[in-house]
Structure 1
Amino acid sequence: MDKLKDKVIIVTGGAGGIGLGMSKAMAREGAILAIVDVNEEAGQAGLKILQEISPKSMFLKANLMDRENLPSIVTAVAEKYGRIDVLVNNAHASKQVTIEETTQADLDLSFGTGFYPTFYLMQAALPYLKESKGNVINFASGAGLNGHETQGAYAAAKEAIRGISRVAANEWGRFGINVNLISPIANSEGVQAWAKAQPEYYEAVRSKIPLGRFGDVEEDIGRVAVFLASEDSQYITGQTIMVDGGSIMLH
């Protein structure tokens, strides 16, 4: 259980859901986690769970829409641990409305919590990732790949993240840095709440997943994150990894 022994890993949106699930999976492999979240209460609760596995882990409260302060996240982690090995850009918020109804505020929320933090945190982390020959794990979505209705702002930001990830994979390969994406379907707290509120719709979606279930945030999504953060994936870069039970099969 030491695939990530002493690797320092930043995870945005790490206080719950997929972010915390990945963080736990990586901590169990020996990583030191720096989870970043806007929710102080959830962040402290998540940190308590993580520190039982990885005592050196930390929590940073940050509003990712505060663009000017994004580099300070990277600096704080680097100053505490002396290195950064992996950056995981997981956080993203959006509003579900049709394109016709989408406002500038809706676009600002999606790009402000998803695309811009991903871009600027990658930029800020680059000097440290060069030193460690590290990894970046970004997040894509079936909403962008398939163009799900009412997901215009979200899909646009997710596809923009895929675009810059491919560019970074090409530009940073010479430094030994891998940049990949996970496109998940996960049984997060939000999905669990949705299952209770709209059980018939939930069941209709679940039944279309070839493997017949939503992924576990730690055992399914988290284990793929461990792989992408480890030496096992050193010859993979610029790829979108579908961790969705077979829902989308890329050609």
Structure 2
Amino acid sequence: MTDLTGKVALITGAGQGIGQGTALAMAAAGAAVAVSGRTPEKVEETARLVRERGGTALPLACNVKAADDLAAAVGRTVAELGGIDILVNNAQEVPLGKLDDVTDEAFLAGFESGPLATLRLMKLARPHMVARGGGTILNFCSSAGIRWDMTGYGAYAAVKQAIRSLTRAAAAEWGGENIRVLTIAPHAESPGLKWWIENNPEEAAAFFRTIPLGRVGGLETDIGRALVALCGPDLGYLTGATIPLDGGQANFD
């Protein structure tokens, strides 16, 4: 595994799912992890799991829709862990439903927790990465953004595709500062995907038939460890790209 010893990672949405799996994987690789989320009990549990394995974790209560919370999370990470080398913008509220059914409130929540929070955190983390000689930012999108049939996914796809554009811009503007920015498009055993499978059984069955590897990725083993590798020097020439960690299901070409 890539060695992240001496690195500090700030991970949003780390109380469960991909965020928690990423925290465990990055801590196992040697990074100190700041794990943030809306529910203090959940991020405390993630921190406990990291510490139980011998890692260093800082739990942070943080609502990514609140600008003050984001600034406080970055400030505490730098003050208590020494800086920021890796930013994982994982947290996201999902506005699902046909366009006529998606409320302004739901769409705004998706925008605020997605592209706006991503942009805010990237800008907050950037000077701290520059101070340490560079860094890696991992943003998240979804294959929903390239579905041939957008029915029921238009609002969700819109906020996720906006994140891809922010990634490309940040990679172009900050590459000279040795800051790499990537977008990840995962399929993982997250609570959100499990909920979707349970509530859309027929569509889920059809969905699984389109995954060449025939399974959904493990949170730590398939997604978290892949993100660790993306932060390492062997992939140091990769930036601005969308990386599908989905068993071969989506075609982002």
| Normalised-by-shorter TM-score class | over 0.9
Which residue of 120, 131, 155 maps to 1:153? 155
Cα distance, 1:230 vs. partner?
A: 1.6
State the one-letter code of the partner of 2:28.
R
State the one-letter code of the partner of 1:23.
A
Cα distance, 1:86 vs. partner?
A: 0.4
**Secondary structure in 2 matching 1:6:** coil
Q: Are positions 1:172 and 2:174 aligned together?
A: yes
Cα distance, 1:250 vs. partner?
A: 2.7
Name the count of aligned residue pairs. 251
Comparing 144-153 with 7-16, which one deviates more in the overlay?
144-153
Partners of 1:120 and 1:142 lie apart in 2 by 23
User: In the alignment, what sits opposite 2:15?
Assistant: 15
**Secondary structure in 2 matching 1:248:** coil
State the one-letter code of the partner of 2:168.
R
State the one-letter code of the partner of 1:225.
L
User: In the alignment, what sits opposite 2:44?
Assistant: 44
User: In the alignment, what sits opposite 2:105?
Assistant: 105
User: In the alignment, what sits opposite 2:240?
Assistant: 238
User: In the alignment, what sits opposite 2:186?
Assistant: 184
Cα distance, 1:195 vs. partner?
A: 4.0
Partners of 2:244 and 2:155 lie apart in 1 by 21
| Structure 1 gaps, min length 5 | none
Cα distance, 1:50 vs. partner?
A: 1.3
Partners of 1:159 and 1:200 lie apart in 2 by 26
Partners of 1:179 and 1:138 lie apart in 2 by 8
Q: Deviations over 1:99-124 (max 9, x none)?
A: 12222101111011111111001001
User: In the alignment, what sits opposite 2:145?
Assistant: 144
Per the alignment, do residues 229 and 54 of structure 1 end up closer, same or farther by CA in structure 2, a change over 3 Å counting? farther
User: In the alignment, what sits opposite 2:58?
Assistant: 58
Cα distance, 1:6 vs. partner?
A: 2.1
Contact 1:9 1:85 in 2 (8 A): yes
State the one-letter code of the partner of 1:33.
V
Comparing 92-101 with 200-209, which one deviates more in the overlay?
200-209
Percent identity between the two aligned chains: 37
Per the alignment, do residues 105 and 79 of structure 1 end up closer, same or farther by CA in structure 2, a change over 3 Å counting? same
Partners of 1:154 and 1:54 lie apart in 2 by 38
Partners of 1:196 and 1:150 lie apart in 2 by 16
Cα distance, 1:68 vs. partner?
A: 3.4
Partners of 2:55 and 2:27 lie apart in 1 by 9
**Secondary structure in 2 matching 1:5:** coil
User: In the alignment, what sits opposite 2:224?
Assistant: 222
Per the alignment, do residues 176 and 54 of structure 1 end up closer, same or farther by CA in structure 2, a change over 3 Å counting? farther
Contact 2:30 2:55 in 1 (8 A): no
User: In the alignment, what sits opposite 2:135?
Assistant: 134
User: In the alignment, what sits opposite 1:248?
Assistant: 250
**Secondary structure in 2 matching 1:87:** strand
Counterparts of 1:57-136 in structure 2 under 5 Å? Answer: 57-132=57-132, 133-136=134-137
State the one-letter code of the partner of 1:110.
G
State the one-letter code of the partner of 1:144.
G
Contact 1:5 1:30 in 2 (8 A): yes
Per the alignment, do residues 48 and 214 of structure 1 end up closer, same or farther by CA in structure 2, a change over 3 Å counting? same
Contact 1:31 1:54 in 2 (8 A): no
Partners of 1:94 and 1:196 lie apart in 2 by 16
State the one-letter code of the partner of 1:14.
A
Contact 2:189 2:218 in 1 (8 A): yes
**Secondary structure in 1 matching 2:49:** helix
State the one-letter code of the partner of 2:183.
L
Partners of 1:26 and 1:39 lie apart in 2 by 21
- The two structures, once aligned, show a CA RMSD in angstroms of 1.6
Relative to the length of structure 2, the TM-score reads 0.93
State the one-letter code of the partner of 2:137.
V
Partners of 2:27 and 2:55 lie apart in 1 by 9
